[in-house]
Structure 1
């Protein structure tokens, strides 16, 4: 998820949708999907997205509700799915699993005690995870809607940042701040929120603090990342000051007589992540709406009225942006 304190360093400005018309955005798929998944679960009755076999596919509702925002503003999303996750992230994953299990215990207790439905819905949203079924059905629905997606060799966010750096897309799209450390020139945030998004700028951030990319990563490591604990008492301002004063991470650690395990590997993961140039996608979107609707409602049993407006918005926006090419 990245350290939210990085926001204090980043140069971020509002980005009106009208300035994004015609853009292609590489979306961190897991980040985007998880946010719509939890929102759907929180505000939708569980029987809506639970099959007769007990399989939960709230993602199908979330995808249909989330995609129109792109189409309505003539933005082409390219969803980038995670491949393997580095073992250095094991601690974070274990912490998330432990937190989710705690929420599951709270949810079970709440149900037994008969607490209000709103509280139960909130707890249900906190226990969500991207199951194999959710992963597979999301890809299948995107394919029916002709929305491009690719598979990253490792972290989807790193691949999205790489695509933005090579110029294959105009922006990376993620709610996390690690996109900045991964060198994405421009990252769109708040794509899952109401209103206009905001844009986080890489070069302007470096200029603002008179840092190199390496030094920005060094400052983040001192603050703490998904892969390491930071140095106690070192926040954004102190981290930048220390890196400026001493030059790099190693000199800071030596001066303070501190050690950060795996520091070299962590640094390398931001500066030279596992990404690929072996991908291909078509930004001319030609959705098969009838097949997509049938997949969601007939094959997976989502009530038609739960997704009707989302599909209508997709159809209307495709027509409005001149992409009306389905028969």
Structure 2
């Protein structure tokens, strides 16, 4: 889910914090990618003509593997060095949000079954997308593929976004890449959105700068975290009747959630969730369970083409010629991506880095947030 309405609030209160760049602007950059989020995107976007997920002759789902293989190659072709971060065990405080997601999937499954009986092919495909779930097997298969491709990955103790943010804070990568805005709440200096979207959608990369957001909103980091909790995160409920704009005004005036509660109008005090564990949510953002960035060693290696072919062609049924061509591109461009970042590259290729104004959250991003497994 991320943080409800945060992109819109930042775009209004600190427009200079959000800029849009072309894909090629990140040549030479290392980026930590929220793996579960992008795998979910692949499961949604990589489809057959009838709208169903890709499968091999044995009926095994392969959409995630096709997406991971070709999107990774696209990044490397553009000089980006990706590292994927996989979720660990979700925090106990996330159980409520996960239960809601499970209920939504069950409802979508029932509607899909009804559509199978009386609906159109389009109805079935629409509801099927809402039932998509990233499984442990999908994650393990993607890890195996990445290993053969020579692309590093990290297994986070808990939240992938928190680990991505830690790698960025430690200087191991330039930015974290996720559709979930709580990556910024975890303290990532730079967040990239839409990085793993399909090239056909022709979407620019949104780059969100945390320092610029704090400066524009005139908040410090503790106040920003409290604001995000009040706006709506994965860990606790919000105060009914207090939307993003009101939460922002209250934090600006009173600085902390404790002070906000103390000064709430009587009609809103009754809406404060019973046994509201906002302080525990705050602790999860301030001190998340992550591997220290200084202890994480990231290495991009030459792909093992034979191992890729064994897995993708012999085991999963992909076309050998296409897989080998993809591996050749990967091998060639990994060497290019290993060059030092060239500052004059940007002089020769100016970015479209204008502050981006928007009204509502990106629809595709919302869809990804609703259906995602862990997250």
TM-score by length of structure 2 reads 0.79
CA deviation string 1:109-133 (max 9, x = no partner): 22223622x3322322221111122
1:304 corresponds, among 313, 319, 338, to 319
CA deviation string 1:9-65 (max 9, x = no partner): 33211023333111100111111111111112475764841552x432321122123
2:93 corresponds, among 82, 85, 88, to 88
1:36 aligns with: 42
1:180 corresponds to 2:184: yes
CA distance in 1 between counterparts of 2:330 and 2:147 reads 18
Summarize the Cα distance change of 1:85–1:205 in structure 2 as closer, same or farther, 3 Å threshold.
Answer: same
Residues 54, 61 of structure 2: 8 Å contact kept: no
Bigger shift: residues 239-248 or 118-127: 118-127
CA deviation string 1:183-203 (max 9, x = no partner): 100011111223331101100
Unaligned runs of 5+ in 2: 11-16, 339-375
Residues 53, 62 of structure 2: 8 Å contact kept: no
Which residues in structure 2 correspond to 1:57-68 (within 5 Å)?
Answer: 57-68=62-73
1:169 corresponds to 2:173: yes
CA distance in 1 between counterparts of 2:36 and 2:70 reads 16
1:262 corresponds to 2:277: yes
Residues 24, 76 of structure 1: 8 Å contact kept: yes
Which residues in structure 2 correspond to 1:96-245 (within 5 Å)?
Answer: 96-113=101-118, 115-116=120-121, 118-193=122-197, 194-245=202-253
2:5 aligns with: 5
Bigger shift: residues 210-219 or 272-281: 272-281
Summarize the Cα distance change of 1:223–1:5 in structure 2 as closer, same or farther, 3 Å threshold.
Answer: same
CA deviation string 1:239-296 (max 9, x = no partner): 121112112111001111364511111011111111112432203x311233213311
CA distance in 1 between counterparts of 2:240 and 2:31 reads 37
Unaligned runs of 5+ in 1: none
Summarize the Cα distance change of 1:176–1:311 in structure 2 as closer, same or farther, 3 Å threshold.
Answer: farther
CA distance in 1 between counterparts of 2:327 and 2:77 reads 8
Aligned residues: 319
Summarize the Cα distance change of 1:259–1:46 in structure 2 as closer, same or farther, 3 Å threshold.
Answer: closer
1:286 aligns with: 302
CA distance in 2 between counterparts of 1:290 and 1:140 reads 13
1:272 corresponds to 2:287: yes
1:316 aligns with: 329
CA distance in 2 between counterparts of 1:318 and 1:158 reads 30
Bigger shift: residues 312-321 or 135-144: 312-321
* SS of aligned partner of 1:77: strand
Summarize the Cα distance change of 1:213–1:293 in structure 2 as closer, same or farther, 3 Å threshold.
Answer: same
- Cα shift at 1:105: 1.3
Q: Which has the higher contact order (CA 8 A, sep 6+)?
A: 2
| Structural RMSD (CA) | 2.4
Summarize the Cα distance change of 1:100–1:281 in structure 2 as closer, same or farther, 3 Å threshold.
Answer: same
CA distance in 1 between counterparts of 2:189 and 2:118 reads 50
- Cα shift at 1:321: 5.9
